Amino acid sequence: MSRSDALRAAQEARKARRAAAEEEKPRATATAPQTRPVRKTVDLAPVTNAELSEWCHDAAIKIGATRVTTQDVFTALVARLLSDDALAAQLRDDLADVAHQRAADRATRRKPS
């Protein structure tokens, strides 16, 4: 056996050992679905925040609850949004209006005076 044949054989042996080691490694399993709540944050204008707080207070009185939190409101809104196609379409229209208004505002700011 020549030296090059011996090197090739050693290289093939290393490849075989690596392949065997890879097969022995435990395979990664699919990750479990997330079970803990996911935190989202929102920035509100001070006036909007005050109006939302007042709305929560009034809603609590109307439904006979001790209190209604903004978390309760956002959770209910998201659930309704995801299950109500008409509401989802209305919200998309509102978001399109906001996007167009932002674009118009940016264009106005870019124009030289």
Whether 104 is covered by a domain: the verdict is yes
Nearest 5°: phi and psi at 25?
A: -65, 140
Whether residue 66 contacts residue 60, with contact meaning beta carbons closer than 8 Å, is answered with yes
Whether 8 is covered by a domain: the verdict is no
The parent domain of residue 103 ranges over 46-110
Whether 88 is covered by a domain: the verdict is yes
What predicted TM-score, i.e. pTM, was given to this entire model? Answer: 0.61
Report pLDDT digits (tens) over 32-44: 788 899 999 999 9
Q: What is the dihedral angle through the alpha carbons of 65, 75, 86, 47, rounded to the nearest 10 degrees? A: 80
Whether residue 68 contacts residue 60, with contact meaning beta carbons closer than 8 Å, is answered with yes
Q: Which two tokens stand for residue 16?
A: 């075989």
State the average pLDDT over residues 45-74: 97
Whether 36 is covered by a domain: the verdict is no
What pLDDT is attached to residue 28?
63
Whether 15 is covered by a domain: the verdict is no
Whether 7 is covered by a domain: the verdict is no
Number of domains present in the structure of the chain: 1
Whether 11 is covered by a domain: the verdict is no
Whether residue 81 contacts residue 88, with contact meaning beta carbons closer than 8 Å, is answered with yes
Whether 103 is covered by a domain: the verdict is yes
